[in-house]
Amino acid sequence: MHRPAETELQLRSAANAADRKNRPAALVIGPAILLVLTLLYAIWSWAGYTSASRAYDAARADMHGTYDVLQRLLLANDTSSELEDRYERNAYLLTDIGDQGDGGELGLAGKIGLELESMNDQGISPLQRNDPIGARRVNITIRGQELDKILEWINACLQDPRYKGRLFVYSISLRPNPTKGWDASPITLAIHEKTDN
């Protein structure tokens, strides 16, 4: 009686093994893994495509912006008297943007209520060799002032009709002051002006 049960168990085991051989898992798992890898590659490729597309659009927009600036400069160059007037050196820049203006009037910083510690004119350096237009840099140091007043002053300088379009922020370094307000040391403003060439 013991033998038929043992034989039956062996027959079942052999039948299960034969059944597993007739259904190889590699034929199912292999294509499934290949499908998952293909989907991952497709997602990765699509992400690369969208990233490249965005980079292309940004480069194209930059190219159009550069083209527009060149067209405006060429047009301005055609009207040379306008160019000469626009980029004429301004001896009153420091007093115009400073806290004490010319003739007792307040400069832009003074009108806002901002105290400037120092202003240092760095002079004009040509944009390119023999270029008639250069960038004049002014380093400004501010200590212990309110951040909103500093930003309001920078905006007022950039939007002032006398300097709009040619005055820009070259660099800025802001740090909280340990006792009061913020320190801006230095803020470097630059303006395009005619060189000595």
CB atoms < 10 A from the CB of 174, how many? Answer: 13
φ, ψ (nearest 5 deg) of residue 35 = -65, -45
What tens-digit pLDDT sequence spans the chain (197 residues)? 456 777 878 888 888 887 777 776 667 788 889 999 999 999 998 988 888 888 888 888 888 878 778 777 777 665 555 555 666 777 777 777 776 656 667 778 888 888 888 887 877 776 666 667 777 888 888 888 888 888 888 888 888 888 787 788 888 888 888 888 888 888 888 887 777 65
pTM: 0.52
- Using only C-alpha atoms, the chain has a radius of gyration, in whole angstroms, of 36
* Distance between first and last Cα of the chain: 117
